[in-house]
Amino acid sequence: MIRAAVGLSPVLMFLLSSGLTARAETPDTVAVAIIEELARARAAPRDPSAAPLYWLGLRVTEDLRRSLIVTDGVVMEPPARVSRFAKVEARVGSPAIDNTHTLREHYDWSFPSPVSVPIEDELWPLRVAFWDALEKGVRGALEEYQKVVANRSVRVAETDGSPDFSSDPPHVALFPRRPLPDLSARYREAMLEASARLDDPAIYTGVVGLSGDAVTRWVYDMAGGQVRQTWHAHRAWVTATAIASDGMRVSLYRWIDASVPERLPEPNELVAWASALRDDVLALRAAPLAEPYSGPVLLRGRAAAVFMHEVIGHRAEGHRQKDEAEGATFRDAVGRIVTTTALTLVDDPGLSRYGDHDLAGHYAYDDEGQPARRTVIIEDGVFRGFMMGRSPIAGFPMSNGHGRADAYERPVARMANTIVETRTPTPLRELRERLISEARAQGLPHALMVDEIDGGFTLTGRTFPNSFNVTATTAWHVYVDGRPDELVRGVDLIGTPIQALRAITHVGDDPEIFSGWCGAESGAVPVASVSPSLLIQRLELQRKDKEQARPPLLSRPEDADGGQQ
C-alpha cells in the first residue's frame, strides 16, 4: 500500500536524504552501549537443551521532529520532539530453519510494543535499556522457534525450501550525525497567507504544513556489522477538503519532499499552491460522479507511478515468493515476457535524486546492514528478478539491500525507489491520440485520463482475490467526438496484476515522481515511485466509497469583518 501519508507518526518520517558518504568515526555513546550489551548477550551461558542463538542484532531509531501547521489561520507549532526506540533481531535455530520461519495456517494478530530508549547520551541508562530489550527479544525468539518446530511437524512440504537467513557478510559504515535546521521563522507569514487563500465557505478543511525530521538509525549485530546513518526529511504541503452535494468528500493534497531545506519551495510558492488548490478542489466538488467503466486509460506520470507500485511492486518482494499464503504471482515468471517490451522497471535505493527532485526511498544501507543495490525487476518487458532482504528464495540466495522496516518491526524485502524506464518513449500528444483511437475501436463514447492519485493498495495473498485498487483524485473523460475533456470524481481503478501489465501498450516520455509511505508487514517505510505516462488498453473503474451524511447544515462562522474564519 502506498499513500501520500498526511499526519503519520513522526517516528516513521525518515529515510529521505541527499547522497551519503561513509566516514570512519568514533562510535558514539549509543553505539558503545549497543556493542557492550551485544557482547555480553553473546557470552552469556545458554541452556544446552534449548535451541542455539546463532545471530543477534540491535536496531535503534532516533527521531528529532519539528513541525509548523496552520489551519484556518490558527498556528500550531509544538515543541521539537525527540524519541528513541530499540528493536531486537534475535535468530534461534540455524540459518536453514529459525524462529523467523513463516507459520503456515497460523494467524497472529498481535502488534509489537515499542521499546523506548533514553534520549540522553548516558552510557549506563542506555546499557540497562538495551539489556532489557535483548532479554525480552531472546526469550521471544526461543518461544517463536518452538512454534516453528511444532508447525512444520504437522504441515506438508513447502514449495520453496530455501534457508531462512542468507550468508551476506557484515558491513561497517558510520555516517556523521547532522543537526536539524528550524525553518518556522522563514515560512510562518507565508503559511498564514496560504491558509487565508483556502478560506472559502465551500472548503470544509484547509491545512498548510511544514515538517522536518532528522532520523538516526544504528544497525549493529554480533557478527560485526556496524551501520549508523542519519537522514533529513523535510516536507511542505497544502491540503483542502470539500463535500459534494451527494456527501462525497473530495480532497486534494500537494506536497514536496526534500532532503535539504534549500530544495523546498520558496515561501511565496506555498501561497500560489493554496490558491490553485482551492480552485481545483472546488471544481472537483462540482464535477459529476464517474460511472463504472471498462476501457482504455491514460495514466499520467504520478498516477502511473502509483499504479506500478501497486500492480507489481509488492509482488516482486522476494520473501513473498516462499510464503505459502502468498499468491506468488511472478515466482515462476523469471525470463518470461510479462508486459510491453517498451517497459523496464528497476528499484534503486542508492539513487538520491531524479532530475531536480529528491527521492524519499533513498538510503545507503538497509535495515539489515546491507548496502543498497540497484535491482532490475523487468527489462524490456521480461521479468528478471526480485527485491531481496536476507531471506533467500530459490535462485536468489543473497540480499540486494532491500530489507526494510519501521522502528518496531522485523525487516523484510520492500520497495524503495521504484522507477519505470523505456528505450522507446512515446510523446504525450501521441499517447492521447492513441487513447482516443482505442476508445473508438472499443465502441466507447469516451476514454479515461487520470492526472492525480491519492494512493492505493493491493492484495497479494491466496485467500482473497489478487487485485489492486488505485484511488484517483483528478480524472477526465476524454471524448472521441472532440468535445472538451470533462473533469469527473469518485474514480477507483481496479484490476488484477497479470492482466493489467499485459494491457500496457505504450510508455511516455514525461516521468514524474510520487513520494509517500508504503505500509506492509514490516511497517510503514518511505518510498518513491517514478514513471512516465502509461497507455493501458483496458482497465476497469469502480465507484469510490463515500460518506452518507449530508453536507454541514450550518455555515462556517464569520469574523467581525464578515470574513470566514
Is 505 inside a domain boundary? Answer: no
Q: pLDDT (tens digit, 9 = 90+) per residue, 51-91? A: 999 999 999 999 999 999 999 889 999 999 999 999 999 99
Is 70 inside a domain boundary? Answer: yes
Is 527 inside a domain boundary? Answer: no
Q: pLDDT (tens digit, 9 = 90+) per residue, 214-237? A: 999 999 999 999 999 999 999 999
Confidence of residue 109 (pLDDT cuts 50, 70, 90): low
Structural domains of the chain, count = 1
User: Would you state the pLDDT for residue 6?
Assistant: 44
Is the model more confident about 269 or about 42?
269
Confidence of residue 18 (pLDDT cuts 50, 70, 90): very low
Cell numbers that stand for 380 in this block: 524490456
**Per residue, what are the HEC states of 58-119?**
EEEEEEEEEEEEEECCEEECCCCEEEEEEEEEEEEECCCCECCCCCCCCCCCCCCCCEECCC
User: What CATH number has the domain bearing residue 275?
Assistant: 3.30.2290.10
Is 381 inside a domain boundary? Answer: no
User: Would you state the pLDDT for residue 275?
Assistant: 97
CB 61 within 8 A of CB 245: no
Q: pLDDT (tens digit, 9 = 90+) per residue, 481-491? A: 999 999 999 98
Statement: residue 20 has pLDDT above 80 = no
Q: pLDDT (tens digit, 9 = 90+) per residue, 292-302? A: 999 999 999 89
Which residues form the domain of 219?
Answer: 12-286
Confidence of residue 17 (pLDDT cuts 50, 70, 90): very low
User: What percentage of the chain reaches a pLDDT higher than 90?
Assistant: 75
For the ranges 57-66, 113-122, 256-265, 368-377, the lowest mean pLDDT is seen at: 113-122
For the ranges 4-18, 136-150, 409-423, the lowest mean pLDDT is seen at: 4-18
Tell me the pTM: 0.90
**Between the CA atoms of 327, 332, 336 and 338, what dihedral angle is there, to the nearest 10 degrees?**
0
Statement: residue 8 has pLDDT above 80 = no
Is 537 inside a domain boundary? Answer: no
User: Would you state the pLDDT for residue 556?
Assistant: 66
Is 16 inside a domain boundary? Answer: yes
For the ranges 153-157, 167-171, 386-390, the lowest mean pLDDT is seen at: 153-157
User: Would you state the pLDDT for residue 394?
Assistant: 95
User: Would you state the pLDDT for residue 149?
Assistant: 92
Q: By C-alpha distance, which of 137, 144, 239 is closest to 198?
A: 239
CB 286 within 8 A of CB 252: no
Mean pLDDT calculated for residue range 402-429: 97
Is 308 inside a domain boundary? Answer: no
| Summary mean pLDDT of the chain | 90
Q: Where are the beta strands (DSSP E) in 132-265?
A: 172-174, 203-221, 226-243, 249-258
Mean pLDDT calculated for residue range 460-473: 82
Is 192 inside a domain boundary? Answer: yes
Confidence of residue 429 (pLDDT cuts 50, 70, 90): very high
